[in-house]
Structure 1
Amino acid sequence: MVILQNSVCHGKYTIRSAHESDAESLSELRVKIDGETENMDREKGKAFIDIPGFKEIIKFDSESHRNLFLVAVIHNQIVGFSRCEGSVLKRFSHKIEFGVCVAKEYWGYGIGKTLLTESILWADTNGIKKITLNVLETNEKAIILYKKHGFEIEGVLKKDKLLSDGHYYNTLMMGRWKE
């Protein structure tokens, strides 16, 4: 199902639910993105998810009413994706965790913002009260975007990540509550 179409400098992009046939592209893209930025938790090639692994995640997410896996596509190529993951535990059934990544070549075109907006819309229409996420303190553009969409800083994990410059950085825990 196509959720949204928008235009960017590189042409039109489409936001849609992930299909199992996307598994190979997603596996390759995740490794690529992990090597393009230190904003992600992983270094390039670490915590690798192979094609069967992505197929399993996509299948699970498509069958769960508490999960959402979206992809951003330009010219039949996946350039970004986001995932909302809920819990089967009743005490946590009101919330999901959000994560997003976009290939560096496509930063600045609103793709991450659109993935976030569509995820919030999905959560709001599916009875989800809270969306949580973690973001590196140096990722100022993302923090500003999240705040514009109602997220607040709920906590700080001090000296949480060691980056390539040899310094430790904080991770901000952010959340958005729907009244």
Structure 2
Amino acid sequence: MKVNTEGMQFQNKNETFYIRTAKEKDAQSLSALRLQIDGETENLDREKGEGYLDEQAFIKVIMRDAYAKNNLFLVAESKGRLVGFSRCEGSDLKRISHKAEFGVCVLKDYWGYGIGSMLLKTSINWAEGKGLKKLSLHVLELNQNAISLYKKHGFEIEGILKNDKLLADGCYYNTIVMARHT
């Protein structure tokens, strides 16, 4: 599967979705989308409003990722609206240029449509095409659906960061470090 600005299309539950690389014109929508998703789940590192990225900040990320050798920024779109996104971020440093870190977010109303899975599959294919040897991620131990998805796609648990996240219930939870090796 080739990743390009034209993207790919898939259907699930009578909805049509498009997966494509992020474009500068997506920046404003991405800012609002990220803010909304941060308020819908505790699976991510941020609470709503923390680490806020405005339109200009997203333009910088999109442009950097477009030109970085080991970065990929994908968006998921339905009916002209962004409903999710993912990023792979690598490095130009020689000792770690063989790997990238993957992260994904999808609006809660669109969980269960296979969007996260398609973003992951597209990212895996991109990483393999780039010759990357390792794709890694961090996932909250409570997010069993994501952990199952990652295992299904060849990711293995490499470690546990104990008491890594403090959630709204006042309890600390572990972060699972997972990776897929090619």
- TM-score (norm: length of structure 2): 0.96
- How far apart are the structure 2 equivalents of 1:8 and 1:147? 22
Which residues of structure 1 form unaligned runs of 5+? none
Q: Equivalent pairs: percent with the same residue?
A: 58
- How far apart are the structure 2 equivalents of 1:135 and 1:106? 19
- How far apart are the structure 2 equivalents of 1:20 and 1:47? 20
Task: Identify the residue that residue 139 of structure 1 maps to in structure 2.
Answer: 143
Task: Identify the residue that residue 32 of structure 1 maps to in structure 2.
Answer: 36
CA offset at residue 106 of structure 1?
0.2
Task: Identify the residue that residue 93 of structure 2 maps to in structure 1.
Answer: 89
Match 1:174 to one of 163, 175, 178: 178
Deviations 1:71-92 (A, max 9, x none): 0000110000000000121000
Task: Identify the residue that residue 165 of structure 1 maps to in structure 2.
Answer: 169
Q: Quick check: 2:69–2:92 contact (8 Å CA) kept in 1?
A: no
Deviations 1:9-68 (A, max 9, x none): 362110000001100000000000000000010000100011110000000000112100
Task: Identify the residue that residue 11 of structure 1 maps to in structure 2.
Answer: 15
- How far apart are the structure 2 equivalents of 1:46 and 1:18? 22
Match 2:133 to one of 129, 132, 149: 129
- How far apart are the structure 2 equivalents of 1:106 and 1:20? 23
- How far apart are the structure 2 equivalents of 1:143 and 1:102? 15
Match 2:49 to one of 45, 51, 60: 45
SS of equivalent to 1:43: coil
SS of equivalent to 2:43: coil
Once superposed, what is the RMSD of the aligned Cα atoms? Answer: 0.8
Q: Quick check: 1:2–1:14 contact (8 Å CA) kept in 2?
A: no
Q: Quick check: 1:94–1:130 contact (8 Å CA) kept in 2?
A: yes
CA offset at residue 4 of structure 1?
1.5
- TM-score (norm: length of structure 1): 0.98
SS of equivalent to 1:2: coil
- How far apart are the structure 2 equivalents of 1:157 and 1:126? 29
1:87-126 superposed matches below 5 A: 87-126=91-130
- How far apart are the structure 1 equivalents of 2:15 and 2:179? 33
CA offset at residue 146 of structure 1?
0.3
Number of aligned residue pairs: give it. 178
